[in-house]
């Protein structure tokens, strides 16, 4: 497991709509093993056997939740709106980075009035995003010279190795999926495959699965496996009856819902069992949607799709957490599945 690349990926800001830096890192990491392609929306593709008529797609979204600047007041305080689902209860006191049009990165903090001077009714209530602001510590003139409406804002890089196997960071949703795609493509590049394998890092999932609609159409695969994070339910106050029994460290989650082809789900289970790869089963929290899988599934005349989910705690916060054993299980399962599909097709 290449932890250095993983940390670089997690540290590279990629707010939905502004993913190019992380996309460049993904391409650089795989350029010696794969053919690299890009499209006009910003998706990037690492390809093995691009001329093959049989195409298998392994996809994850590379964007992370974040913000864009909407307004700068006369005192130089910066106001934003969300790109993706933001939990406003987690925002006050956050450290952020504003990526300016010039490429400069300016540090800031999300502020609000201190609890001492809040009214009794205000205390304990979640603030609306429009009532919070970013304070860069710069003068109003400096802010207006450097920052523009539309600049993207991300949480500060904050990778933590919590234990031997567990990590916390902003952007695990879904840089961990992109990492899995990258390591899978590295491993597959050493195999003798005939199938065309497309490792895709799609953009703008957090704002409507937009990149996946384009990448699915461009690749036009017969089979696609999408990787995203899924809810870990091994923390207090999450209903296992509603969301399933999914824990960190017990393996990659094979998802069965209408976005996952039933035959492909069972195939993944059988491959995992045959190769002693730890896995868990989930029916997903909704029957359809919520990930890129459905967008790819509906490409062209339809694609056989499967969602693999990395158990994740504290999703859509700055301190998302996952277990590296589940990450390795995902890589191992994907490699074995692709090799088995390739053999089945070409025998």
What is the average per-residue pLDDT within 112-128? 87
Given a cut of 90, whether residue 123 has pLDDT beyond it is no
Could you name the CATH architecture of 3-64+170-346? 3-Layer(aba) Sandwich (3.40)
| Token pair belonging to 292 | 């890129």
Residue found under tokens 């919590």 = 162
**pLDDT mean across residues, the chain:** 96
Given a cut of 90, whether residue 231 has pLDDT beyond it is yes
Q: How far apart are CA 142 and CA 104, in angstroms?
A: 13
287-346 confidence digits (pLDDT tens): 999 999 999 999 999 999 999 999 999 999 999 999 999 999 999 999 999 999 999 877
Indicate the domain borders of the chain. 3-64+170-346, 66-155
Residue found under tokens 């089945």 = 344
Q: How far apart are CA 276 and CA 47, in angstroms?
A: 28
| Token pair belonging to 83 | 């790109």
CATH code of the region 66-155:
2.40.30.40
Residue count (the chain) = 347
Which one-letter DSSP state was computed for residue 259? T
Query: Per-residue confidence at 347, pLDDT binned at 50, 70, 90?
Result: low
Q: Give the closest residue to 306 by CA, choosing from 267, 277, 275, 341.
A: 267
pTM above 0.85, yes or no: yes
Query: Alpha carbon 124 to chain centroid distance?
Result: 31
**336 Cβ neighbours under 8 A, 6+ residues apart:** 271, 272, 274, 275, 277
Q: Do domains 3-64+170-346 and 66-155 have the same CATH topology?
A: no
- Looking at per-residue pLDDT, the higher value among 246 and 118 belongs to 246
What is the average per-residue pLDDT within 91-103? 96
Phi then psi dihedrals of residue 170, to 5 deg: -70, 155
| Token pair belonging to 16 | 């939905």
Query: Per-residue confidence at 65, pLDDT binned at 50, 70, 90?
Result: very high
Residue 122 has a pLDDT of: 81
């Amino acid at each position: 497991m290449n932890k250095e690349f993983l940390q670089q990926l997690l540290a590279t800001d990629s707010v939905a709509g502004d993913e190019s830096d992380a996309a460049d890192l993904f391409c650089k990491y795989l350029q010696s093993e794969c053919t690299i392609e890009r499209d006009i929306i910003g998706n990037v593709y690492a390809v093995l056997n691009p001329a093959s008529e049989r195409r298998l797609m392994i996809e994850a979204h590379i964007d992370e939740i974040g913000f864009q600047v909407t307004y700068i007041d006369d005192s130089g305080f910066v106001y934003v709106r969300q790109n993706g689902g933001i939990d406003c209860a987690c925002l006050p006191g956050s450290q952020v980075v504003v990526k300016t049009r010039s490429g400069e990165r300016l540090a800031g903090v999300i502020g609000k009035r201190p609890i001492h001077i809040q009214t009794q009714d205000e205390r304990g209530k979640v603030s609306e995003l429009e009532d919070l602001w970013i304070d860069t510590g710069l003068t109003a003139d400096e802010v207006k010279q450097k920052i523009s409406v539309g600049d993207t804002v991300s949480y500060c890089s904050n990778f933590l190795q919590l234990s031997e196997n567990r990590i916390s960071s902003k952007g695990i949703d879904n840089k961990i999926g992109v990492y899995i795609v990258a390591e899978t493509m590295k491993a597959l590049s050493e195999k003798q495959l005939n199938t065309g394998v497309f490792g895709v890092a799609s953009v703008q999932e957090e704002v409507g699965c937009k990149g996946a609609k384009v990448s699915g159409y461009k690749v036009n695969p017969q089979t696609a496996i999408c990787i995203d994070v899924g809810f870990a339910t091994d923390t207090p106050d999450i209903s296992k009856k509603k969301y399933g029994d999914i824990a960190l460290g017990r393996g990659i989650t094979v998802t069965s819902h209408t976005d996952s082809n039933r035959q492909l789900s069972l195939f993944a289970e059988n491959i995992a069992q045959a190769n002693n790869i730890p896995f868990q089963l989930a029916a997903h929290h909704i029957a359809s949607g919520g990930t890129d899988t459905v967008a790819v599934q509906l490409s062209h005349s339809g694609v056989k799709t499967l969602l693999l989910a990395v158990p994740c705690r504290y999703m859509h916060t700055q301190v998302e957490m996952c277990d590296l054993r589940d990450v390795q299980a995902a890589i191992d399962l994907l490699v074995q599945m692709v090799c088995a599909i390739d053999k089945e097709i070409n025998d």
